[in-house]
C-alpha cells in the first residue's frame, strides 16, 4: 500500500517534464510563411482580353483540347514512355524518402538489444574486486588455472538519442523536407505540362511543314509544265533564251525550298519521336488533316493573374521551395540554443541463460544530456547567414516565376488576337497575289509584258501562300502555348498542403487509350 501511494505521488512529478517538453516543442523560430505580394498587374492588357471565352483552361483536359486522334495518341504514349518524365517521377520518390527519414527524427527510436558474452578474469582482478578474497564466485562461473571464466547474457530495449525539440529545430528540418517533397510533385506536374506543350508544338509544326512541302511540290509540278512550254516556245523561236532561263530559275527555287522544308519536317518528326520515347512510324506522323481541321479549342478564359498562383505548377513549386527555405532559417536559428537529448534502456542481465528473464536480473537506466557549443568559430552564424540568403533567393525566384507566367499568358493572349487578324490579312494578300499572277501571265501571253513580270508575280504568290500556312501553324502553336501557360492539360492541381495522399495521385502515369 505504501509503495502504491508513493508511485501515485511520483507520477505528477514525471508528468511535469513531459508537459514542459510538449509546450516548448511548439516553439518555432522559422519566419512565418506569407505568400509574397503579386508582382504583376492585377489584370492582363485590356486589348487582348475581348477574344477570350468563359471556360478556364484547367477545366479542359488535354484529351478534349486536342481533337486530332493521332496527336492524342502520341501524348498518351509520351506520358508513359518519356524518359525525362520517368526521372521526374523517380525524384518524387527520392524526396518522399528523404521526408520520411527526416520526419522519423521527431519520434523516439526504439531498438531491441541482446548479447551473450564469455570472459575470463584473473586471480588478481578478482582479488581487487572482492577485497583480497579469492573465493570462487557462485554466479555460474568456472574455475580455470589462475582465474575464472564468466558468462553474461543481456536482453532489453533501448532509446538512443531522442532530441527534445524545444526550439523546433527538428520540426523545421522535417517541414523543409516535406516542402522539398511537395516541390518535386509540383515540378513533375510542370514537366508533364511542358511535355504536352512541346510535343503538340513539334507535331503541329511538322504538319505545317508538310503542308508547305506539298505546296512546294504542286508549285514545282506547275512550274515544270511552264518550263516545258517555254522550251517549246524557245525552239519555235517565239520567246528568247532569257525567258526560258527565267522559267528554269522558278523551278529550281521551288525545288530548293521543297528540299529545305523536308529537312525541317524531318527534324521536327525526330523531336516528336524523342518526346514520345519510342519509335513512331511515318504513317502516324503523316498528315491526316489540314491545319484548318485540327479542331483545337480557341475560346478559353484567360482569368486573372492571381489565379495563376493556384493553377501553374511551376509557381506552386517555387512557393514550396520558399517554404523549405524559411523552415531552414528556423532550424539555423534553433542551433544557437541548447540541444537536449534523452537516452534510456531497460532489460535483463544474468550469468545463466535459463534464468535470464526474472525480477532478479531486471535493470534500467534513463538520463538526459545537454549540449551547447560555446565557441564554434562562427559556424552557426554562417549557417544562419546562408539560410537567410537562400530565403531571399527563394522569394526573388518566386516573384520572377510569377512574372514569367504573367508574360507567357499575356504574349499568348496577344498572339491569339493578332494572329487572327494577321491571317485574315494574309488570306486577302494571297487572293490579290493570285489575281496578280494571273494578270501577269495573261499580259505576257499577249505580248504586253516581259516574262520578268510573270517571274516576280509567281515568286510573290508562292511566298504569300507559304506565309499563310506558316501563320496558321503559328496560330495553333500559340493556342497550345496559351493552354499550357494557363495551367491546362492536367485538370485542377491537387491540394498539396493538407496531406500526402493527394500528391500521390498526381504522379500516376496516364495510360494510352
| Nearest residue to 47 via CA among 309, 417, 399 | 417
Q: What is the pLDDT of residues 71-88, one digit of tens each?
A: 888 999 998 888 888 888
Q: Does residue 477 surpass a pLDDT of 90? A: yes
Q: What is the pLDDT of residues 130-157, one digit of tens each?
A: 555 555 454 555 555 556 677 777 777 7
Q: Please, which pLDDT band fits residue 378 given cuts at 50, 70 and 90?
A: confident
Q: Let me know: does 492 contact 505? Beta carbons within 8 Å.
A: no
User: Using CA atoms, how far apart are residues 88 and 78, in angstroms rounded to an integer?
Assistant: 14
Return the pLDDT at 102: 76
User: Using CA atoms, how far apart are residues 32 and 322, in angstroms rounded to an integer?
Assistant: 11
DSSP code for 339: E
User: Using CA atoms, how far apart are residues 484 and 60, in angstroms rounded to an integer?
Assistant: 11
Helix and strand totals (H; E) in the chain: 13, 7
Where does 63-193 show beta strands of DSSP type E? 110-122, 142-144, 147-164
Return the pLDDT at 21: 47
Q: What percent of the chain has pLDDT over 70?
A: 81
Q: What is the pLDDT of residues 177-215, one digit of tens each?
A: 888 888 888 888 889 999 999 999 999 999 999 999 999
Q: Which residue has the higher pLDDT, 316 or 374?
A: 316
Q: Let me know: does 184 contact 95? Beta carbons within 8 Å.
A: yes
User: Using CA atoms, how far apart are residues 177 and 498, in angstroms rounded to an integer?
Assistant: 15
Q: How distant is the alpha carbon of residue 389 from its chain centre?
A: 24
Return the pLDDT at 197: 92
Q: Does residue 114 surpass a pLDDT of 80? A: no
Return the pLDDT at 124: 60
Q: Let me know: does 392 contact 398? Beta carbons within 8 Å.
A: no
Return the pLDDT at 95: 83
Q: Does residue 389 surpass a pLDDT of 90? A: yes
Q: What is the pLDDT of residues 6-65, one digit of tens each?
A: 444 444 444 444 444 444 455 777 888 888 888 788 888 877 776 556 788 888 888 888
Q: Please, which pLDDT band fits residue 427 given cuts at 50, 70 and 90?
A: very high
Q: Does residue 506 surpass a pLDDT of 70? A: no
Q: Does residue 504 surpass a pLDDT of 70? A: no
Residue 174 DSSP SS3? helix
Q: Does residue 308 surpass a pLDDT of 70? A: yes
Q: Does residue 216 surpass a pLDDT of 60? A: yes
Q: What is the pLDDT of residues 447-461, one digit of tens each?
A: 777 777 888 888 889
Q: What percent of the chain has pLDDT over 90?
A: 24
| Nearest residue to 485 via CA among 201, 113, 110 | 201
User: Using CA atoms, how far apart are residues 193 and 421, in angstroms rounded to an integer?
Assistant: 28
Return the pLDDT at 508: 38
User: Using CA atoms, how far apart are residues 260 and 269, in angstroms rounded to an integer?
Assistant: 14
> Going by DSSP bridges, is the β-strand pair 110-122/142-144 parallel, antiparallel, or unpaired?
unpaired
Specify the range with the lowest mean pLDDT, choosing from 259-268, 368-377, 388-397.
368-377
Q: Let me know: does 342 contact 329? Beta carbons within 8 Å.
A: no
Return the pLDDT at 513: 33
* CA distances for 193 relative to 38, 228, 398, 473, 479, angstroms: 23, 52, 19, 20, 14
Return the pLDDT at 147: 60
Q: What is the pLDDT of residues 390-414, one digit of tens each?
A: 999 999 999 999 999 999 999 999 9
Quick one: average pLDDT of 458-470? 91
DSSP letters along 191-230, please?
Answer: HHHHHHHHHHHHHHHHHHHHHHHHHHHHHHHHHHHHHHHH
Which H or E element spans position 347? strand 339-350
Mean pLDDT in the chain? 79
Return the pLDDT at 224: 87
The winner for highest mean pLDDT among 122-131, 237-246, 300-309, 384-393 is 384-393
Q: Please, which pLDDT band fits residue 325 given cuts at 50, 70 and 90?
A: very high
User: Using CA atoms, how far apart are residues 356 and 358, in angstroms rounded to an integer?
Assistant: 6
Return the pLDDT at 103: 76
Give ∠ CA 51-52-53 in degrees, rounded to 5. 130
Q: What is the CA radius of gyration of the chain?
A: 39
Specify the range with the lowest mean pLDDT, choosing from 223-227, 269-273, 488-492.
488-492
Structural domains in the chain plus CATH codes: 24-106+165-337+379-506 (1.20.1600.10), 108-164+338-371 (2.20.200.10)
Return the pLDDT at 502: 38
User: Using CA atoms, how far apart are residues 85 and 277, in angstroms rounded to an integer?
Assistant: 10
Q: Does residue 278 surpass a pLDDT of 80? A: yes
**Could you tell me the pTM of the whole model?**
0.78
Return the pLDDT at 2: 43
Return the pLDDT at 505: 35
Amino acid at each position: 500500500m505504501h509503495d502504491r501511494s508513493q508511485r501515485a505521488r511520483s507520477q505528477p512529478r514525471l508528468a511535469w517534464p513531459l508537459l514542459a517538453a510538449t509546450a516548448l516543442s511548439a516553439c518555432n523560430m522559422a519566419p512565418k510563411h506569407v505568400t509574397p505580394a503579386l508582382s504583376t498587374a492585377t489584370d492582363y492588357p485590356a486589348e487582348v482580353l475581348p477574344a477570350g471565352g468563359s471556360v478556364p483552361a484547367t477545366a479542359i483536359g488535354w484529351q478534349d483540347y486536342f481533337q486530332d486522334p493521332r496527336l492524342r495518341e502520341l501524348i498518351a504514349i509520351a506520358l508513359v514512355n518519356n524518359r525525362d518524365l520517368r526521372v521526374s517521377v523517380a525524384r518524387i520518390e527520392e524526396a518522399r524518402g528523404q521526408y520520411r527519414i527526416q520526419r522519423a527524427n521527431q519520434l523516439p527510436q526504439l531498438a531491441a538489444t541482446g548479447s551473450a558474452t564469455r570472459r575470463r578474469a584473473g586471480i588478481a582482478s578478482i582479488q581487487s574486486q572482492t577485497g583480497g578474497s579469492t573465493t570462487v564466485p557462485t554466479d555460474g562461473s568456472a574455475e580455470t588455472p589462475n582465474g575464472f571464466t564468466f558468462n553474461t547474457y543481456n536482453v532489453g530495449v533501448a532509446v538512443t538519442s531522442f532530441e527534445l525539440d524545444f526550439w523546433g529545430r527538428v520540426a523545421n528540418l522535417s517541414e523543409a523536407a516535406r516542402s522539398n517533397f511537395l516541390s518535386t510533385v509540383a515540378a513533375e506536374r510542370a514537366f508533364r505540362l511542358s511535355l504536352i506543350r512541346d510535343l503538340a508544338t513539334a507535331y503541329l509544326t511538322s504538319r505545317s511543314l508538310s503542308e508547305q512541302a506539298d505546296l512546294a511540290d504542286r508549285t514545282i509540278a506547275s512550274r515544270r509544265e511552264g518550263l516545258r512550254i517555254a522550251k517549246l516556245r524557245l525552239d519555235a523561236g517565239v520567246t528568247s533564251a532569257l525567258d526560258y532561263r527565267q522559267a528554269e530559275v522558278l523551278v529550281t527555287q521551288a525545288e530548293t525550298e521543297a528540299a529545305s522544308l523536308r529537312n525541317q519536317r524531318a527534324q521536327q518528326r525526330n523531336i516528336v519521336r524523342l518526346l514520345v520515347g519510342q519509335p513512331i512510324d511515318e504513317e502516324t506522323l503523316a498528315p491526316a488533316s489540314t491545319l484548318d481541321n485540327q479542331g483545337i479549342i480557341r475560346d478559353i478564359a484567360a482569368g486573372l493573374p492571381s489565379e495563376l498562383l493556384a493553377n501553374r505548377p511551376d509557381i506552386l513549386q517555387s512557393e514550396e521551395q520558399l517554404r523549405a527555405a524559411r523552415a531552414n532559417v528556423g532550424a539555423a536559428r534553433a542551433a544557437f540554443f541548447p540541444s537536449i537529448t534523452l537516452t534510456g534502456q531497460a532489460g535483463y542481465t544474468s550469468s545463466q541463460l535459463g534464468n535470464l528473464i526474472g525480477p532478479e536480473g531486471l535493470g534500467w537506466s534513463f538520463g538526459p544530456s545537454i549540449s551547447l557549443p560555446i565557441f564554434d568559430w562562427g559556424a552557426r552564424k554562417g549557417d544562419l547567414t546562408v539560410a537567410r540568403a537562400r530565403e531571399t533567393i527563394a522569394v526573388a525566384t518566386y516573384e520572377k516565376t510569377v512574372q514569367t507566367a504573367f508574360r507567357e499568358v499575356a504574349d499568348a493572349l496577344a498572339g491569339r488576337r493578332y494572329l487572327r487578324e494577321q491571317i485574315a490579312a494574309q488570306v486577302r494578300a494571297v487572293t490579290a497575289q493570285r489575281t496578280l499572277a494571273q494578270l501577269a501571265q495573261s499580259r505576257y501571253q499577249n505580248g504586253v509584258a516581259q516574262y520578268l513580270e510573270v517571274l516576280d508575280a509567281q515568286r510573290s504568290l508562292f511566298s504569300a501562300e507559304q506565309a499563310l500556312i506558316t501563320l496558321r501553324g503559328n496560330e495553333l502553336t500559340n493556342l497550345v502555348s496559351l493552354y499550357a501557360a494557363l495551367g491546362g492539360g492536367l485538370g485542377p492541381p491537387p491540394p498539396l498542403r493538407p496531406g500526402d495522399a493527394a500528391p500521390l495521385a498526381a504522379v500516376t502515369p496516364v495510360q494510352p487509350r
